[in-house]
Structure 1
Amino acid sequence: HVAYSTAKSGLVGFTRSTAMAYVKKGIRCNLVIVGTMHTPLVEERLMKQLGPEAAANLVAKRHAAVPIGRMGDAWDTAHAALFLASDEARYITATHLVVDGGLTAARPG
């Protein structure tokens, strides 16, 4: 977790610094932090590593662990990024948006 935490902190700081450097030019900078995502690549790797039944069980457990009831997919991430790039988010800069179905909030600590 040390490497992940260090990288995440670095990206948050980079986002804030970049946002402040370009805000007067009308450029906003935000960070999308994604949680557990279910993709075809993840599915393929799990099938190869675990076999069909074990992979299906693990995927079901991962879905159940997310408070919203499912892992995210590429569309969830894309919609968040598109929102931040849109005029609806014109007053949002120098921050991060966690797209994880509530998983971060559900974890203790």
Structure 2
Amino acid sequence: MQHPGRLAGKVAIVTGGASGIGAETARVFAQQGASVLLTDMNTALGTEVAEEIKRNGGTALFAAQDVRDEAAWAQIAAQAEGAWGRLDILCNIAGISGRDPRLNIQAGQTAGPRLAEQTLEQWNQVMAINATGVFLGTRAVIPAMQRAGGGSIINISSICGIVGSHANAAYHASKGAVRIFSKAAAIQYAPDRIRVNSVHPGFVDTPMTQPGHANPEVARRRMEATPLGRFGTPYDIAAGCLYLASDEAAWVTGTELVIDGGMTAN
């Protein structure tokens, strides 16, 4: 590292770290001096990201994780604290859209089944990963952050947690749950100097959104709804996470950081 960085001496867990926003956030955190434990279900890609970070002079480990697994969360928190002696940051980034993963191109405006066709199994899967996973992760890291004297928990929601759209109704519900959950957790743990905030990306080019953006009509409508005239990049979101993770945001908790190119200002 050529400078101490904005996260020097801090230890972070980043879920969904194998690709997209999660991978870029892990890279940015490491570049800014944090020791990063990145997790994902995709072991090959996750290991590759961790090795890339180390080649570039950063400190990183990878661990396979299903964020729905309660016992695994205890192990992940213990691994981070055990490796580096403390835990300061959690970025809950792992998530799914609810779209059929076999589809390379989204067929219509809705990512996933429309409400009347949605099964309980589909609903439960989206809620389990996007909302329950955030709850389990937040709960798991609190004791270590209390021992560290405070921390920052950053929960990735979405503009779909603020406004309605053609997107999967389960996705909207899960991301709305993340937004309000973050506010409740922020109030409960403010006395411990544990800050909890949500981040709300707009239309970002990631592997998760690629099938939608591969449909010219979907891409056109999303672009027209974005005043700044381009899709976001994973770095756009990672930069916001960096701010919330840093001491620059020491008086920021219980709020939402919207990074959407102006979409929700319409």
Shorter-normalised TM-score: what interval?
0.7 to 0.9
Q: In structure 2, do the counterparts of structure 1 residues 39 and 14 end up closer, same or farther at CA, with 3 Å as the change threshold?
A: same
**Partner Cα distance (1:30, 1:19) in 2:** 7
**Partner Cα distance (2:220, 2:172) in 1:** 27
Structure 2 residue 143 is the aligned partner of structure 1 residue 9:
no
Structure 2 residue 245 is the aligned partner of structure 1 residue 85:
yes
Structure 2 residue 192 is the aligned partner of structure 1 residue 32:
no
Offset at residue 64 of structure 1 (A): 4.1
- Structure 2 gaps of 5+ residues are 1-163
Letter in 1 for 2:182: T
Secondary structure of the residue aligned to 1:28 is: strand
Letter in 1 for 2:186: A
> Could you list the per-position Cα deviations for residues 84-104 of structure 1 after superposition, in whole angstroms to 9, with x for gaps in the alignment?
111111111001111111101
- Percent same amino acid at aligned positions? 37
Instruction: Please report the TM-score for the alignment, with normalisation by the length of structure 1.
Output: 0.73
- RCO greater where, 1 or 2, for CA within 8 Å and sep 6 or more? 1
Offset at residue 22 of structure 1 (A): 1.4
Any residues of structure 2 matched to 1:30-69 within 5 Å, and which?
Answer: 30-39=197-206, 42-43=209-210, 45=211, 55=216, 59=219, 62-69=222-229
**Partner Cα distance (2:238, 2:256) in 1:** 15
**Partner Cα distance (1:60, 1:9) in 2:** 25
| Equivalent residue, structure 2, for 1:75 | 235
- Assess if the C-alpha contact under 8 Å between 1:64 and 1:70 holds in 2: no
Extract structure 1 runs of 4+ deviating beyond 2 A. Answer: 1-9, 39-43, 57-65
Quote the RMSD (CA, aligned, Å).
Answer: 2.5
- Assess if the C-alpha contact under 8 Å between 1:29 and 1:94 holds in 2: yes
**Partner Cα distance (1:41, 1:23) in 2:** 33
Letter in 2 for 1:36: F
Please identify which structure carries the higher strand content: 2
Number of aligned pairs?
99
Q: In structure 2, do the counterparts of structure 1 residues 14 and 46 end up closer, same or farther at CA, with 3 Å as the change threshold?
A: closer
